[in-house]
Amino acid sequence: MAKTEVILTHNIVGLGGESDQVRVAAGYARNYLFPQRLAVPLTQSNKRQIEALKQRRAEREAHEFNTMTELAKGVAKLVCVIKVKAGEDGKMFGSVTAGMIADELKHQFDISLDKKKIHLEHAIKTLGEHEVELHLHAEVKGALKVRVESTTPAAAPVEAAAPAAGEKSEKPRTEKRGRHPEGEKAEKTEAGEPKKPHVPKGDKPVKAAKALKSEKAEKAKAE
């Protein structure tokens, strides 16, 4: 495959940055790089642009460094919550990937971050909080807290068992603050004692007077 040398005028991930001289396939340069103005052929006249391209590159890299530094400070204060399906024992169905974290960052905080900058040694497979390392720039790293929560509702607590048939449930005792006199008479009557008739106080002097008058009449007859 024929190769050709070009001077990059823009940063191309995996290929190089502004002012870099690289060899690429002739068809790739002719059909993509040149039409998109991402590169120019390596010629003496084009070499004069190299200094200006180096200056542009330095400005771009400084801007990216500052931007990523600020981003690292910002995400360090965030907690990215990811909802997953899990069993009652807390075991997850599936795992959390870098792509899922990138999607939630965009959805929850409107932060656009390439999933390649989210460094996971292994996919997250457990619930709870995890600290994820971020490779934001060649000279900037950050950390993001990710909390994985289950969408499965928690099991309802077991209610106390109902009393078995024939058993009496204990009722709470209420404190008696005093007894009414009539209540005491009712209790004595229920216990078997005879219930005394109620005599108004005004009747007692009348009975005593009648008894005294009767006694005097009997003595007079005896004389």
d(CA 179, CA 188): 13
d(CA 101, CA 79): 11
- Residue 110 has what DSSP assignment? -
* Residue 145 amino acid letter: K
Instruction: Please give the backbone phi and psi of residue 8, each rounded to the nearest 5 degrees, phi first.
Output: -75, 135
Contact 169, 163 (CB under 8 A): yes
- In the CATH hierarchy, which top-level class contains the domain 3-48? alpha beta
d(CA 114, CA 97): 13
The model's pTM is 0.58
Label residue 85 left, alpha or beta by phi (over 0 means left) and psi (-120 to 50 means alpha). beta
Domain locations in the chain?
3-48, 73-150
- Please report, in tens digits, the pLDDT of each residue of the chain (223 residues total): 789 999 999 999 889 999 999 999 999 999 999 999 999 999 988 988 999 999 999 999 999 999 999 999 999 999 999 999 988 788 888 899 999 999 999 999 999 999 999 999 888 999 999 999 999 998 999 999 999 999 876 655 555 555 555 555 555 555 555 554 454 444 445 445 555 555 455 555 555 556 666 666 666 666 5
CATH of 73-150, one of 3.10.430.100, 3.30.1490.20, 3.80.10.10, 3.40.1180.10: 3.10.430.100
